[in-house]
A and B are shown apart, each in its own frame.
Chain A
Amino acid sequence: MSTSLNIGIRMAWRNLWRHKRRTWLTIGAMIFSNLLLVFLISLQFGSYRMMIDNTLKTYTGHLQVQHKEYNDNPKIRNSFQDIVPLADKVRKQLGSAGITAWVAARGVAFAMTSSEQRSYGLQIIGVEPQYEVNVSTLPGLVNKGRYFTDFNAEEIVIGSVLARNLRVDIGDELTLLGSGRDGSFAAGVVIVTGIFDSGNADVDRSMAQLPLGYFQSLFSMGGQGHNIVINAEDLTLVSALQNEVSSILGEREELSLLDWNRLQPGLQQAIQADMASAWFMYIILIVLVAFSVLNTQLMSVLERTREFGIMMALGLKPARLGTLVFTETFIMSSLGLAIGAALGTALAWYLSIVGFTYPGMEEMAGKFNLPDRIYPTLSLLSIFLGPGIVFLCSLLASLYPALRLFFLQPVSAMRAV
C-alpha cells in the first residue's frame, strides 16, 4: 500500500465501495448515458455531414467564385470575364500545389422553355460537361438518355418532373426564350439528351442544364459566366482550400469567394434547429443521471452523519468533509466517463465502418437518392461533449450533499445513529 497517496483520496475510494451495488448502479447510469450520448452525438454529426454533403454535392458545392454582387443580387448581368480560363487556372494551380479539389465553371440564366404543347419558366445552368460530373451528383442522376460531353452542343438535360410536364422525351426538341446578358433577345432550339431524377421534385421541375459554350452564345455572354464551383475532398478541408483559392484569385477585385455556409445559409439553420431538438432529449437524460448522483450522494452523506460528526469533533472543518464527498463523486464520475466514453467510442467506431441503418431506412434512401446507411462521425467533440457534460453535472449534483455538511453540528451529528 502506498503511503504517498493522500489518505483523503484513499478514504474516498474505499467509501465508494462500502455500498458496492449502489455505487455500481450510479456509475452504471453514467456509463449507459455516456455510451448513448457518444453514439447519438456521433450519429448526429454523421447525419449532418451526410446532409451537408448531399445537399452541397447536388449543386452548390463547397466553395463558389462569383462576381461580388451576385450572391445578393443573382442577375445575369452580375457575371465575370474569362470564366473558363480562370477555372483552368485555379484547377492547375491547386493541382501543382498538391491539393485535391474539383473545379467547374457555370453560367446561370432564366428562360421560358416550350415543347409543342406547353411552356414553363426554368432556371438554366450552363456547365462544363467534362468537369461538372466531378462537382455535382446531378450528371450521375441522369437515368434516361445521357449527360452531354460536348462543350458547344445544342443539347439540354432536364428533370423528370419537367419532362412529364412538357410531355417530352429523349430526342425531342425544346425552344428556349429569354433575354441575354446585354438585354438582347435570346432564342434557341435544343434537343433533350438526358432526363435526371434527383428525388427533389423542386429541382426536377425547375432546373435544366446546357453545355456552357452553347449557353454563352445563347445568352450573349461572350467569355463570361456566373460561378466557379470548387469542391474539397472533405468538408473539414474547406477552409484551408478557401485560403488557397483566394490567394490564386488575388488580383481579381470584382470577384468574391463564398463558402457553403454563405451560399446555403438555410442548411446551417436546419442543422441548428435539429441540434436544439436533439439536445432537449440529451438534457433530460443528463438531468436523470444528475439526480441519481444526487440521490446516491445524499444517502451516503446522511447515513454517515455520525462519522462526519466524529471527524468534525477531531477538528476537521466542513470544507474538508465536503471535499471528501466531492472526491467520491469525482471518482465515480471519472469511472463513468472513462468506461462510458470508451464503450460509446467503440460502438460508434464500429458503426462508422459498417454503417448504421434501421428498418425502413433503405426504402426511404432509395426513394430520395440518399445513402442507405449513416456513418457516425467520431471526433474529440462527439466523444467528449456528452460525457463531459454528464461529468460536470454529476459534480454539480454532489454540491448539495456536500454543502449540507456546512450546517452540521458535531454534537448533534454524533448523536445520530
Chain B
Amino acid sequence: MTSIVCKDLCKTFQQGDETIIGLDNVSITIERGDFVCLSGPSGSGKTTLLNAMGGLDTPDSGEITIGDVRIDELGKGPLADMRLHNIGFVFQAYNLIPVLTARENVEFVMQVGGMSAAERSKRSFKILKEVGLEGMEDRRPAHLSGGQQQRVAVARAIVSQPTLVLADEPTANLDTVTSSQLMDLLVELNQHHNITFVIATHDIRVMKYAKRLIKMEDGKIISDEAQSQSPIPLGEG
C-alpha cells in the first residue's frame, strides 16, 4: 500500500529579481510503514519537499497524493483538517507551545480534533510513557531538556495515529547520545504503529537509521536507495 505519491513537483521562490529553484520535477512514491531519510546539502530542497508533502506549502505544479487524497487540490480548510488528522510534524526545535505542559501539548491537538477529555487524558499518558516521559507529564517545555522536548513533539505527532509523520532535522539541536535515543524511539514507533516516517537530515548518523535513503541536490533527487537500518551503537559516532 502506498502512503505518498509525488509526481513532477516543481516549486520556485522569488527573491527580488532572482528565481530560486526549490523543487525541480521531483517524483517519489513512499510505501506505508516506510522509514525514509531525505539528505542533501543545505538548500537542496529537503524542507521544501517535506512542506509540500505535509500540505504546508503548495507546489507550483505536480501532484501529491496521500492515501487516496490529492492534497495539492485541497483548499486551506480541508488541508488543515488533513494535517490535523493524518499528518504529524516534528520540527527542528521550539516545536511546543511554551505555556502548555507536556501533557497539554499532546492533548491540545486531540481536543482540536474533538476527542473527549477522558480519552485524551488516557492517550496522552500512554503515549508520553511510550516516548519515555513518564512522570514529566506536567512539566512545561522550559523545564524539559531539548531531547525531552523533541520526545513530546514526537508524542504529539503520533498521538492521533496519523498515516504519515514528517520530521525536519529533528535531531539538529540534540547531542549525539540524545539524537540516537530519539532515533531509536522513532524506529520503534515506526515498527509498532506502522506509521510512515519521512525525515530530512544532514546527519550521517541519522541516515543510518533509514530503510530508504534519498539524496537531493539543487531541488532534484540524485539518488534513492534502499538500505538496511544499521544504527551506530551508542557511544560511538
Contact = CB atoms under 8 A, between A and B. Distances in A.
Are A and B physically bound partners?
A: yes
Nearest to A14: B99
A313 B89 contact: yes
Interface residues of B, number: 32
Nearest to A16: B99
A247 interface: no
- Best-buried of A11, A18, A310, A410 by chain B (most CB within 10 Å): A410
A315 B99 contact: no
B77 A317 contact: yes
Interface string B20-56: 0000000000000000000000000000000100101
B169 interface: no
Contact of B51 (A4, A307, A314, A411): A411
Interface in A401-415: 409-411, 414
B57 to A, nearest CB: 5
B95 A11 contact: no
B63 interface: no
Contact of B95 (A18, A310, A409): A310
A40 interface: no
Contacts of B80: 312, 315-317
Contacts of B94: 306, 310
A411 B83 contact: no
Contact of B121 (A3, A317, A409): A3
Given A1-B138, A4-B117, A313 B54 contact: yes
Given A4-B117, A7-B111, A307 B97 contact: yes
A307 B51 CA distance: 17
A320 B82 CA distance: 16
Contacts of A6: 111
Contact of A314 (B76, B83, B121): B83
B99 A316 contact: no
Interface in A216-267: none
A410 B57 CA distance: 8
A320 B84 CA distance: 13
A15 interface: yes
Nearest to A4: B117
Interface stretch (B66-74, B101-109, B128-136): B101-109
Interface in B150-170: 156
Given A1-B138, A316-B84, A410-B56, A311 B97 contact: yes
Interface in A1-52: 1, 3-4, 6-8, 10-11, 14-15, 18
A316 B89 CA distance: 13
A313 B51 CA distance: 9
Nearest to B89: A313
A11 B85 contact: no
How many interface residues does chain A have, given as a range?
20 to 34
- Best-buried of B80, B107, B117 by chain A (most CB within 10 Å): B80
B138 A310 contact: no
B100 interface: yes
A407 to B, nearest CB: 11
Nearest to A311: B97
Contact of A315 (B51, B95, B100, B109): B109
Contacts of A312: 80
B104 A10 contact: yes
A10 B138 CA distance: 14
Given A312-B80, A315-B83, A315-B84, A320 B97 contact: no
A317 B98 CA distance: 19
Nearest to A18: B99
Given A315-B83, A316-B112, A7 B95 contact: no
A29 B112 CA distance: 34
B85 to A, nearest CB: 7
B81 interface: yes
Contacts of A14: 99-100
A288 to B, nearest CB: 29
Contacts of B51: 411
B98 A315 contact: no
A1 B104 CA distance: 11
B162 to A, nearest CB: 10
A15 B100 CA distance: 10
Contacts of B112: 314-316, 320
Nearest to B108: A7
A8 B84 CA distance: 16
Given A315-B80, A411-B56, A7 B98 contact: no
A317 B113 CA distance: 11
Nearest to A417: B94
B82 A315 contact: yes
Interface in A383-413: 409-411
Interface of A: 1, 3-4, 6-8, 10-11, 14-15, 18, 306-307, 310-317, 320, 409-411, 414
Given A306-B94, A316-B84, 8 more contacts: A1-B138, A7-B100, A10-B100, A11-B97, A310-B94, A314-B84, A314-B112, A317-B80
27 contacts: A7-B108, A7-B111, A10-B100, A14-B99, A14-B100, A15-B99, A18-B98, A18-B99, A306-B94, A307-B98, A310-B91, A310-B95, A311-B97, A312-B80, A313-B56, A313-B89, A314-B83, A314-B84, A314-B112, A314-B156, A315-B83, A315-B85, A315-B112, A315-B113, A317-B80, A411-B57, A414-B91
